[in-house]
Structure 1
Amino acid sequence: MEKDKVIYEDGDPIELPENAFRELAADEDYRPVMHPAHDYPEVTPYSVTLGLVLAVIFSAAAAYLGLRVGQVFEAAIPIAIIAVGLSGALKKNNPLGQNVMIQSIGACSGVIVAGAIFTLPALFILQGTYPEITVNFLEIFLSSLLGGILGILFFIPFRKYFVKEMHGKYPFPEATATTQVLMSSQAKGEAAGGQAKTLVIAALIGGIYDYVLATFGVWAENISTALTSWGSSLMEKTKLIVSCNTGAALLGLGYIVGLKYAFVIFAGSAFVWWVIIPLLGTYGSAELMALTPDAMFSEYARLIGIGGIAMAGVIGIIKSRGIIAQAAGLAVREFGGGASKEKPVRWQLDISMKHIVFFIAIALVVVLVFFWLGVLHNFWQALVAWVVVTVIAFLFTTVAANAIAIVGTNPVSGMTLMTLIVASAIFVGVGISGTSGMVASMVIGGVVCTALSMAGGFVTDLKIGYWLGSTPRKQETWKFVGTFVSAATVGGVVLLLNNVYGFTGPNALVAPQANAMAKVIEPIMMGGDTPWILYMTGAILALLLNWLGVPALAFCLGMFIPMSLNTPLLVGGAISWFVSTRSRNKELNDARRDRGTLISSGLIAGGALFGVFAALTRFAGFEYTSDMPVALNQGLGVIVYLLLILYLGWDSMRGKKA
Structure 2
Amino acid sequence: MSASAPVPVPEVEAAPEAPASHASHEPYVPASASPRELTVRAVALGALLGIVFAASSVYLALKVGLTVSASIPIAVMSITIFRFFGRATILENNIVQTTGSAGESIAAGVAFTLPSLLLMGYDLVAGRVLLLSVLGGLLGVLMMIPLRHGLIVEEHGKLKYPEGTACADVLIVGETGGTNAKTVFAGFGLGFLYKLVGDPLKLFNMNPAHRFSGWKGASVAGELTPEMLGVGYIIGPKTASTTMAGGVLAYLVLIPLIAFFGDKIDSPIFPATTLIRDMSPNDIRSRYVLYIGAGAVATGGFISLGRALPTIVKAFRSGLKSFRAGKAAEKQAPRTEKDLPFSVVVYGLIALLLAIWLAPTLGISLPTAILIMLFGFVFVTVSSRICGEIGSSSNPISGMTVATLLITCLLFLAMGWVGVDHRAMALSTAAIVCIAASNGGATSQDLKTGYLVGATPRRQQIGLLVGVVTSALVIGYTLLFLNASYTTRAAEAYDVPIPMESITAQVETGPDGKEYRVAYQPDSGAAIPQGKYLVEASGRVAFVIDPGIGGRVPHEPKRLAEASAVPAGAASKGAMLGPDRRSYTVFEVAEGGALAAGRYLGEDGKLVYELREVKKLDAPKASLFALIIDGILTRKLPWSLVLIGVMLALVMELCGVASLPFAVGVYLPISTSVPIFVGGLVRWLVDRRRGQAGGDEEFSPGTLLSSGYIAGGAIAGLVAALVAGLGMEHRFDLSTVFTTFTTSNLSGVVAFGVIAGALYWAAIRGKSAVGKAEG
Aligned to 1:546: 653
**1:513-535 CA distance string (max 9 Å, x none):** 2222223323334x241011111
Aligned to 2:491: none
Which runs of structure 2 are paired with 1:29-44 in the superposition (5 Å)? 29-44=24-39
Aligned to 2:504: none
- Contact 2:62–2:112 (8 Å) recurs in 1: no
Report the secondary structure of 1:242's partner residue: strand
Aligned to 2:333: 344
Indicate yes or no: 2:208 matched with 1:223: yes
2:718 corresponds to which of 609, 612, 629: 612
Question: Which of the pair has more CA radius of gyration?
Answer: 2
Q: Compared with structure 1, are the counterparts of its residues 387 and 39 closer, same or farther at alpha carbon in structure 2 (3 Å cutoff)? A: same
Aligned to 1:288: 276
Report the secondary structure of 1:310's partner residue: helix
Report the secondary structure of 2:200's partner residue: helix
Aligned to 1:651: 762
Aligned to 1:141: 130
2:295 corresponds to which of 299, 304, 307: 307
Structure 1 distance, partners of 2:723, 2:414, is: 48
Aligned to 1:419: 404
1:635 CA drift (Å): 1.9
1:451 corresponds to which of 393, 415, 436: 436
1:11 corresponds to which of 2, 5, 28: 2
Aligned to 1:130: none
- Contact 1:173–1:253 (8 Å) recurs in 2: yes
Report the secondary structure of 1:374's partner residue: coil
Structure 2 distance, partners of 1:68, 1:88, is: 35
Indicate yes or no: 2:155 matched with 1:170: no
1:281 CA drift (Å): 1.9
1:635 corresponds to which of 727, 746, 758: 746
Indicate yes or no: 2:416 matched with 1:438: no
- Contact 2:146–2:319 (8 Å) recurs in 1: no
Equivalent residue letter for 1:433: V
- Contact 1:116–1:450 (8 Å) recurs in 2: yes
Structure 1 distance, partners of 2:37, 2:92, is: 4
Q: Quote the sequence identity (%).
A: 31
Gaps of 5+ in 2: 266-274, 487-547, 554-613, 770-775
1:416 CA drift (Å): 0.6
1:333 CA drift (Å): 3.5
1:598 corresponds to which of 696, 704, 708: 704
Equivalent residue letter for 1:510: D
Structure 2 distance, partners of 1:33, 1:335, is: 29
Structure 2 distance, partners of 1:288, 1:590, is: 46
Structure 2 distance, partners of 1:355, 1:588, is: 43
1:556 corresponds to which of 663, 667, 679: 663
- Contact 1:67–1:117 (8 Å) recurs in 2: yes
- Contact 1:385–1:427 (8 Å) recurs in 2: no
Aligned to 2:590: none
Equivalent residue letter for 2:762: D
Report the secondary structure of 2:208's partner residue: strand
Q: Compared with structure 1, are the counterparts of its residues 126 and 473 closer, same or farther at alpha carbon in structure 2 (3 Å cutoff)? A: same
Q: Compared with structure 1, are the counterparts of its residues 68 and 279 closer, same or farther at alpha carbon in structure 2 (3 Å cutoff)? A: closer
- Structure 1 or 2: more helix by fraction: 1
1:354 CA drift (Å): 2.7
Equivalent residue letter for 1:207: F
Structure 2 distance, partners of 1:588, 1:499, is: 53
- Structure 1 or 2: more strand by fraction: 2
Report the secondary structure of 2:157's partner residue: coil
Aligned to 2:380: 397
Structure 2 distance, partners of 1:87, 1:193, is: 19
Equivalent residue letter for 1:254: G
- Contact 1:591–1:655 (8 Å) recurs in 2: no
- Contact 1:163–1:462 (8 Å) recurs in 2: yes
- Contact 1:251–1:569 (8 Å) recurs in 2: yes
Q: How many residues in Structure 1 have an aligned counterpart in Structure 2?
A: 622
Aligned to 1:471: 456
Report the secondary structure of 1:396's partner residue: helix
1:261 CA drift (Å): 0.4
Equivalent residue letter for 1:102: V
Aligned to 2:238: 260
Equivalent residue letter for 1:255: Y
1:523 corresponds to which of 616, 631, 646: 631
2:389 corresponds to which of 406, 424, 427: 406
Equivalent residue letter for 1:529: K
Report the secondary structure of 2:159's partner residue: coil
Which runs of structure 2 are paired with 1:348-363 in the superposition (5 Å)? 348-363=337-352
- Contact 1:588–1:656 (8 Å) recurs in 2: no
Structure 2 distance, partners of 1:457, 1:589, is: 24
Report the secondary structure of 2:222's partner residue: strand
Equivalent residue letter for 1:87: F
1:324 CA drift (Å): 3.0
1:592 CA drift (Å): 11
2:682 corresponds to which of 550, 572, 575: 575
User: Normalising by the residue count of structure 1, what TM-score does the alignment of the two structures yield?
Assistant: 0.89
Equivalent residue letter for 1:253: V
Q: Compared with structure 1, are the counterparts of its residues 256 and 590 closer, same or farther at alpha carbon in structure 2 (3 Å cutoff)? A: closer
Greater Cα offset, 109-118 or 325-334: 325-334
Q: Compared with structure 1, are the counterparts of its residues 588 and 610 closer, same or farther at alpha carbon in structure 2 (3 Å cutoff)? A: closer
Q: Compared with structure 1, are the counterparts of its residues 339 and 283 closer, same or farther at alpha carbon in structure 2 (3 Å cutoff)? A: farther
**1:71-96 CA distance string (max 9 Å, x none):** 32221121111111112223425x10
- Contact 1:33–1:468 (8 Å) recurs in 2: yes
Equivalent residue letter for 1:297: R
Report the secondary structure of 2:113's partner residue: coil
1:336 CA drift (Å): 4.4
Structure 2 distance, partners of 1:593, 1:175, is: 13
- Contact 2:3–2:29 (8 Å) recurs in 1: yes
- Contact 1:330–1:339 (8 Å) recurs in 2: no
Aligned to 1:99: 93
Structure 2 distance, partners of 1:364, 1:331, is: 20
1:548 CA drift (Å): 2.3
1:26 CA drift (Å): 6.6
Greater Cα offset, 102-111 or 74-83: 74-83
Equivalent residue letter for 1:312: G
**1:38-60 CA distance string (max 9 Å, x none):** 21211111101111111222222
Report the secondary structure of 1:234's partner residue: coil
Q: Compared with structure 1, are the counterparts of its residues 553 and 485 closer, same or farther at alpha carbon in structure 2 (3 Å cutoff)? A: same
Structure 2 distance, partners of 1:365, 1:223, is: 50
Equivalent residue letter for 1:174: E
Structure 2 distance, partners of 1:69, 1:415, is: 19
**1:2-42 CA distance string (max 9 Å, x none):** xxxxxxxx8224xx524368666579600000111221211
Structure 1 distance, partners of 2:285, 2:42, is: 45
Q: Compared with structure 1, are the counterparts of its residues 161 and 269 closer, same or farther at alpha carbon in structure 2 (3 Å cutoff)? A: same
User: Normalising by the residue count of structure 2, what TM-score does the alignment of the two structures yield?
Assistant: 0.76
Greater relative CO, 1 or 2 (CA 8 Å, sep 6+): 1
1:55 corresponds to which of 50, 54, 61: 50
1:491 corresponds to which of 476, 483, 495: 476
Equivalent residue letter for 2:249: F
Aligned to 2:194: 209
- Contact 2:686–2:763 (8 Å) recurs in 1: yes
Structure 1 distance, partners of 2:247, 2:63, is: 28
Aligned to 1:64: 59
**1:422-449 CA distance string (max 9 Å, x none):** 2122223324323212221222221111
1:578 CA drift (Å): 1.2
Q: Compared with structure 1, are the counterparts of its residues 426 and 88 closer, same or farther at alpha carbon in structure 2 (3 Å cutoff)? A: same
Q: Compared with structure 1, are the counterparts of its residues 540 and 352 closer, same or farther at alpha carbon in structure 2 (3 Å cutoff)? A: same
1:68 CA drift (Å): 4.5
Structure 2 distance, partners of 1:214, 1:583, is: 35
Structure 1 distance, partners of 2:650, 2:63, is: 38
1:630 CA drift (Å): 7.5
Gaps of 5+ in 1: 1-9, 128-132
Aligned to 1:6: none
2:108 corresponds to which of 106, 110, 114: 114
Structure 2 distance, partners of 1:583, 1:336, is: 50
Indicate yes or no: 2:252 matched with 1:274: yes
- Contact 2:699–2:768 (8 Å) recurs in 1: no
